[in-house]
Every structure is written in structure tokens, then in C-alpha cells.
Chain A
């Protein structure tokens, strides 16, 4: 088991290096002269030279990369073109907001998705099965921003039970928790749908296997059969889909933060893209992608804990 963890940990390094190279290269991939594009049509020759020097575009690429990566390892992600603020500082103040939004959503999605999926599977072809799976199919097809706006229209504009105020960053306070409900529900909706569908098909597949029939035949309580025998083996694909979804949720925070005006990394990224603030774009992309890679590692380790067979493969 320990070997497996170490092997997985080592595999992480080339991916993280690769991600940093891609992020670093972003500036070189800008069509035309990057400094001119960033400076915009009104920039003077002097300003453009300035940008070029600032970005290190006047030096060889490999030298530049090593400077970049050693900065990143020390927590230096450069400075925003727009505000001059350190990128790492801007991200630091917003990271908690994005992360708590993602965690809260994945919790909502996992609880609702797994419960709905199990009930739909053991009551296959019942009204609950049809209803929940229809909602799930629609949930997968609906754009996140639309669900967010729908919830705002229903709960804030029509029913007036919740406020559309930005999240204050303190999920542990009552106000913070309440303002987080709609964004988290919005973000978790698609994932809940996907988790529900995966749980249902996974449980359905297991429930027709011989050992389940045996468990039932020897007179075990149905609840024990489902929760202890079936769910344990059905868990692996479910954990996979939750892990994958947690990553997608991190990407989705971009949209939800924009809809609900939450001061998170996603919103920061969109603003930076619009302003062509490259150090900020690079920093936010790097941080979100690295978080995603780490979450994938945790998911893999979790598999091995749930199913020890995996680490022997």
C-alpha cells in the first residue's frame, strides 16, 4: 500500500512540471508579438519594450522558464499588470472562498447524488426512479449559469427569501452559510446529477450479482444487503465520479463566482482574461490546475483505501 502511495506521489511530479510548462508557455503562444498584444493598440514603443523586459521576453526561453519556476516554488507568481499587486497575494485572499464553495458543493452533490442513486436503483422502474433520473438527465444538460440565474429568480426575485449578496468569505458564520447555499446548490447541481446516475448504474450492476443473491437467500436484512454488501463494491465508480466532479467543480467556480459576485479565483481569472492581465491569468490557472492534480491524487489514494486490490495491480 505504501509503495502504491509513493509511486502515485512520484507520478505527480511530471504532471505538475508539465502544467507549469504549459502555463509558462501561454505567453509565448500569443499570436503575433505578445508584448504588442498585451500593450494594446494605444501602447507606445517604450511601453511595449517595458512589457517585454518585465515578462522577460527579451531573454532565451529556457532561462526564462527556470526563473519562472524557481519563483513559483518560492511562492512568487509575478505582479498584476493592472493593479501591480502580487499575484500570489491576490490568489491567497481569494483561495479560501473558491475552495469553500467547491467543498460545500461537492458535499451537497455527493449526499444528494448518492442517496438519489441508491433509491433509484433499489426501486428500479418506480416513479422515484423515473423522476430522479429525468431530473438528473436535465441537470446534466442545463448550463450552470442558467441554474444559478433560475435560483436567483425563484428565491431572490420572486419568493424574496434569500439575498443576492456576495459571499463574505466566512462560511462558518450564519450569514456566510446562508449566502453560500444558492451558489453551492448551483455548482453542485450538475455533479449531483452525474453522481446520481453513476450511483444508480453502479448499484444496479452489483445488485444482480450472485453474492448479493446469496446474501438475500441466507435471509439477511435488505438494508444490510444494500448498505453493507452492495454499496461497498459499488463505491469505487462512485468515488471516481465524485473525484472527477470535484475537479470539474473547481472549473465551474469560474461561472458561479461570476453569477453570484463571489470574490474567488475564478472571477479573478475571468477579469484578468478580459483585461489581458497575463501574470494574473497564469497564476490563477496554475493554482487551480495544481489543486485539481492534488485532488486527483487524493481520489486515487481513496480508491486504494476502499479497494485494496487496486494497489496490487
Chain B
């Protein structure tokens, strides 16, 4: 994290880091990365679609019309066809964007709150470091979506429980990132200076250290959004998340699977929607990471 320091970066291609305003700095760097900009455009569009869902969606996503069930792509009045109850697929996709974004943002937000607090404590207080990191090691011993599955088995299926499960599952990764950044920053001269001035620990943590952890936090949180949305869709696909008739994309894929011979588009199209959103967040994350610190490339 060479850019986090107070020393100006020498390379001419990299603009000088403005430590006073990390968010402005981040924006400057996003603008320079074509990949991040592409992702940002995609995600902005998806957010707009999700907000305007009631206005732009051609039909009610839950209104059944059995006379036109399983209509193919390009059917009159239904561009993407209809599902097994004659519900308009496009309208359901549009409403599904709301669910996916909501699940993604709230679970990552949940994970961030705990991850940042744990990471800051572990990084700053050496005494807490051992305990917190051991707990994190244990949580990381559950591969992939397994930890989320275990939590779902405790809380029971449902979309709110999926948010909690994925939120908890995000904590260890985020905490580790914050901790390693804190470990680096707390050795820097300006933190030593703040300590010498007699500032309180809380002041040092929240006013001196946290603002300089913002960039890696945003990079990881963005990538985590992609993982969260993907995993939530997976849990719903397995029948453990959003339940039918919800217009959740993973659940739609699962029900579409029963019509794989007559109407394969019912399974394939919701998957496309997931890919677009996940690709968007991944691109922003990748682009940001490369722009902020190329050295991080091999550590993720």
C-alpha cells in the first residue's frame, strides 16, 4: 500500500496522492481505469433500473396469465417471453435487480461494520490481535459458501437470513484486510506524532488511521459485493434463500430448470442478469485495485 503514505509518489503516471481527501482521490483513480469505469456504468444502469422498476417494467412481475404461459423470446408484448405462470420475464428481471442489489448492499454493509471494527481492534491493539485472528482463522476454515450454509441451517431459510449469513461470512475477509492495513499505517510517522501529542486511542484510530484505510476497504467491499450477490443467488437457487414466487434471479433459475426442454430461456436469462451485475462489481473492484496499488494484485 505504497500510496497510503505521506510521501509523494515519484512515478509521473501516478498522480500525487491527496491524503486529505481519500474519496476524491479514489474518484480520480476510477476515472483513469477504463475497466472500473465500464463497471461503474453497468452498476449505475442497474441501480437506475432497480429504482425505476415500477415505471419501466412493462407488466406486474407477479401477475399470472396462464393463457400465455412459457411464451418464447420475442413473443408479442413479451420481449423475453413468459414463465410457467405466464408472468412477464422482463418485468421479473427488472424487479429482481432490486432484490439482488438490496441483498448485496445490506449483507456487505453488515459485514463491513463488524469487519472494520474487528480489523481496527486487531491491528491497533496487539493484545486483541491474537484472539481476533484465531477466531477469524476458524471462520476461514469453512470453505466457500459453507459458512453461509451453516448459518442458514441455524437461522432457517429466507432472504433476511441470507443477508445475515452472507454478512457474517464477509466479516473475516474484510477484517483481515483492515487489520493488515492498520498494521502498516500505525507505524507511520504521523501516527507516532499523534501519539506523541497525547491524542486518545479512539482519536488516533478513527481520525488518523481509518481515513487511510478507506481505499483498500472500498476495493474489497466492491469485490465482496460481487461475491455476496453471487452467493445469495446460489442460496436461493438451492431453495435456502428467496422463495417462489419471489422474482429473485437465483430462485427464478431454479424454477426455470423444470422447463429446461420446453423453455431453456427461463433458466438462462436470469443467469445473464446475475453475470452482468457481478461482472460490474468485479470490474470496479479490479480496476480500483490496479489503480490504487498494483502490488496488491498478487495478494488477492
Q: Taking A144-B234, A285-B146 as contacts, is the C-beta distance between A18 and B271 under 8 angstroms?
A: no
- Taken residue by residue from 142 to 166, chain B's Cβ proximity to chain A (1 for < 8 Å, 0 otherwise) reads as 1111100110111111000000000
Instruction: Tell me whether A15 and B253 are in contact in the complex, defined as CB-CB below 8 angstroms, given that A150-B268, A251-B144 are known contacts.
Output: no
Tell whether, in the assembled complex, residue B257 and residue A149 are in contact, meaning their CB atoms are under 8 Å apart: yes
Q: Assuming the A-B contacts A15-B141, A18-B138, are A289 and B146 also in contact, with contact meaning beta carbons closer than 8 angstroms in the complex?
A: yes
The reply to whether the CB of B11 lies closer than 8 angstroms to some CB of chain A is no
Check if A274 sits within 8 Å of B150, measured CB to CB.
no
Given contacts A250-B143, A289-B146, contact A137 B282 (CB under 8 A): yes
Q: Inside 8 A of B264's CB, which chain A residues have their CB?
A: 153, 157
A residues 106-147 in Cβ contact with B at 8 Å: 137-138, 140-146
Would B271 and A142 count as touching, CB distance under 8 A? Answer: yes
Q: Give complex CA distance A285, B154 in Å.
A: 12
Structural contact, A14 and B134, CB atoms closer than 8 A? yes
Quick one: which of B141, B283, B286 contacts A293, CB cutoff 8 A?
B141
Instruction: Determine the chain B residues whose CB is within 8 A of the CB of A281 once the complex forms.
Output: 150, 153
The range of chain B's interface size is 35 or more
Contacts known (A26-B150, A293-B141); A149 close to B271, Cβ less than 8 A: yes
Distance A37 CA – B230 CA, assembled complex (angstroms): 29
Query: Do A152 and B260 have beta carbons less than 8 Å apart?
Result: yes
- Looking at chain B's contact residues, the main secondary structure is helix
- Contacting B at CB under 8 A, from A251-274, are 251-252, 254-255, 258, 269-270, 272-274
Nearest CB of chain A from residue B137's CB, rounded to whole Å: 6
**A258 near B144: Cβ-Cβ < 8 Å:** no
A contact residues around B137 at 8 Å (CB): 15, 18
Assess whether A141 is in contact with B226, with CB atoms less than 8 Å apart: yes
Q: What residues of chain B lie closer than 8 Å to A289, measured between beta carbons?
A: 141-143, 146
Pick the contact of B278: A22, A31, A141, A152 (CB < 8 A): A141
Task: Flag whether A58 is at the interface (Cβ < 8 A).
Answer: no
- Please tell me if the beta carbons of B282 and A251 are within 8 angstroms of each other in the complex: no
- Which residues does chain B contribute within 8 Å of A202, judged by CB atoms? 298
* Contacts A141-B282, A157-B260, A201-B298 given; does A15 touch B238 at CB 8 Å: no
Determine how close the nearest CB of chain B comes to the CB of A5; give it in whole angstroms. Answer: 19
B240 touches A274 (CB 8 A): yes
Cβ-based interface call for A226 (8 A): no
Contact A237 B298 (CB under 8 A): yes
Q: B41: shortest Cβ distance to chain A, in Å?
A: 16
Q: Cβ of B142 and Cβ of A255 under 8 Å apart?
A: no
Given known contacts A14-B134, A22-B138, A205-B298, is B250 in contact with A143 (CB within 8 Å)?
yes
CA distance A289 to B275 in the complex (A): 28
- CB of A224 within 8 Å of the partner chain: no
Interface size class of A (residues with CB under 8 A): 35 or more
Q: Tell me the nearest residue of chain A to B240, going by C-beta.
A: A273
- A29 and B274 in contact, given A143-B250, A255-B238, A292-B142 (Cβ under 8 angstroms): no
Instruction: Please tell me if the beta carbons of B146 and A258 are within 8 angstroms of each other in the complex.
Output: no
Residue in A14, A21, A237, A247 with the greatest tally of chain B CB atoms within 10 Å? A247
Check B181 for interface membership: any CB of A closer than 8 A.
no
Report B127-143 CB contacts with A as 1/0, cut-off 8 Å: 00000001101110111
A19 CB-CB contact with B under 8 Å: yes
Question: Does residue B27 face the partner (Cβ distance < 8 Å to A)?
Answer: no
Asked if B138 contacts A140 (CB within 8 A), the reply is no
- Is B105 among interface residues, defined by CB-CB distance under 8 A? no
- Interface presence of A248 (CB below 8 A): yes
- Alpha-carbon separation in the docked complex, A146 to B230 (Å): 11
**Distance of A255 Cα from B238 Cα, bound (Å):** 7
Contact of A149 with B253 at beta-carbon distance under 8 Å, contacts A201-B297, A205-B298, A273-B149 already known: yes
**Closest residue of B by beta carbon distance from A240:** B298
* Cα A201 to Cα B300 with chains together (Å): 12
B233 at interface (Cβ–Cβ under 8 A)?
A: yes
Interface residues of B (CB under 8 A from A): 134-135, 137-139, 141-146, 149-150, 152-157, 226, 230, 233-234, 237-240, 250, 253-254, 257, 260-261, 264, 267-268, 271, 274-275, 278-279, 282-283, 286, 297-298
Counting from the closest, the 3 A-B pairs by CB-CB distance are: A251-B144, A146-B271, A18-B138
Given contacts A143-B233, A157-B260, 13 further A-B contacts (CB under 8 A): A18-B137, A19-B141, A26-B153, A30-B155, A31-B154, A141-B282, A146-B253, A149-B267, A198-B298, A250-B146, A273-B153, A289-B142, A292-B146
